[in-house]
Amino acid sequence: MQRSSMGLMVMGGIALACVLSLVGPSAADTLPLDDLQKPATQEAIPELADVMTKLNKGDVAGALADMKAAVEKHPQLPPAEVMMAQLMSRTNRADTVRYWLEQAIIASPNQPDAYVMLGQDAMQNKRTAESQLLFEKSYQLLEGFTGDAKRKEGLQTIVFGSLAGLAMNRKDWDAAKGYLVESLKLHPDDGRALQLLGRVLFEQGNAEEALEKLKAAKTADPKTLTPEATLANWYEEAGDRANAGKYMVEAIKIAPTDFNTRFVASNWKFQTQDFKQARVQADIALQLAEKQDIDPSAALILAGSIAIFQGDYPAAEAYLRKAIALAPANFAATNNLALALCEQDDEAKRKLAFQYAQINSRLRPDDVEAASTLGRVLFTLKHYADADKVFRKVATTGQSLSPDTAYYIAALYAETDRKEEAKKLLEQVVKKEGLFSQRKNAEQLLKDLGS
């Protein structure tokens, strides 16, 4: 679904698309490479004492020989070529890293480390099929792995989590559950794995059991979102608003002074277009942030976004100016402030809106949202020719237009003697459901054009 051109970068629940970023630690976390320069490690593994010095001098062969000597005496270490790949990764040369990982597979074909790292690289670069095959190979090798137990456990944590994430992404809930159960056998108090298992159980129709897993995750990590609020988000994503409302109310009862719970409740109300209650919850979240010394930036941006949809542009401006004072480079804050300013009948504010929109457009030349805002600001300044150029650029991206952007293009058409084009676009946009800040104006303009 197309994001609104409002620049509303706020939470919308735990999206399944985020699963791949939650599947486990980096392979680097299981390898002692960052410790190579530390005296304590050098004392424990003297063979590695001169590795960095040799690499800095270009003596790669000498460094590799030292690593191989270290591996022979210290089984907790991964293959020498894997350690070399990890060190080379600091240079940001993917080809060199891959070369050493491939060398590791040739030299130690039954060691899982290189396959794990290659799998992570494939996953991060969205080569899903490749990552699946690499992690499956890693899984097979780990089943028969008889090396260092701690190293095996670290690699298993990555592999189980990665395979679970891949399974969730393709909605293979049974496979995902199996991998997560295996992961939790290693780390029963892993809050992230418990959360993901909760999601899997929810997708399988076991909401009560899912809630229990979420509660266990909360116990393991108190910073985790209130379980009932998470469940409410999942119900909303599933289209069950009744249960979403039930659990969101329950979440507020359980954790009335929890900033994140109030923030999520506000965002939920915003997404469901109950703007009055959304703003109430956002203001409560801001009060809690002040009392509890929490960064209020996200809540200020959300409150400003809500105020824009309410047509309360001065309030939106106030919220967003505070957000920018805390985070001057935040795109959502500056983009939304441009929108709040351009909607006010004040020439100075509209010129300031143009400055914000122009800067964002220059900093993000390929961002449709930034371009849409610039076009909208130019339209309110009555720079119709310039607005038309910007909107034409937006149209060439091939992305579907958000309702707000479509409305302003239609309004531009109406002002520049293209009324039939305006009517056609408005007839399409007023039928769309979801967030649309200019819906009433679009309906009125369509009426005025004689539809």
Nearest to 76 by CA among 28, 32, 107: 32
**For 39-96, what is each residue's pLDDT tens digit?**
334 446 888 888 888 988 989 999 999 999 999 998 889 999 999 998 888 777 778 9
Q: Using CA atoms, how far apart are residues 62 and 32, in angstroms rounded to an integer?
A: 19
Superfamily of the domain at 16-227+256-352: Tetratricopeptide repeat domain (1.25.40.10)
The whole-number pLDDT of residue 160 equals 97
Q: Give the residue ranges of the chain where pLDDT is below 50.
A: 1-43
Q: Using CA atoms, how far apart are residues 423 and 318, in angstroms rounded to an integer?
A: 35
The whole-number pLDDT of residue 245 equals 97
Q: Locate the domains of the chain by residue range.
A: 16-227+256-352, 228-255
The pTM of the full predicted model, rounded to 2 decimals, is 0.81
Q: Using CA atoms, how far apart are residues 15 and 135, in angstroms rounded to an integer?
A: 23
* Cβ neighbours of residue 186 closer than 8 Å, sequence gap 6 or more: 153, 156, 157, 160
Name the packing angle between helices 128-143 and 113-124 (round to 10°): 160
- Per the CB < 8 A criterion, the answer to whether 26 and 120 are in contact is yes
* Cβ neighbours of residue 421 closer than 8 Å, sequence gap 6 or more: 410, 413
The whole-number pLDDT of residue 33 equals 40
Q: Using CA atoms, how far apart are residues 192 and 260, in angstroms rounded to an integer?
A: 17
Q: Which run of H or of E encompasses 411?
A: helix 403-415
CA 331: distance to chain centroid? 15
The whole-number pLDDT of residue 283 equals 98
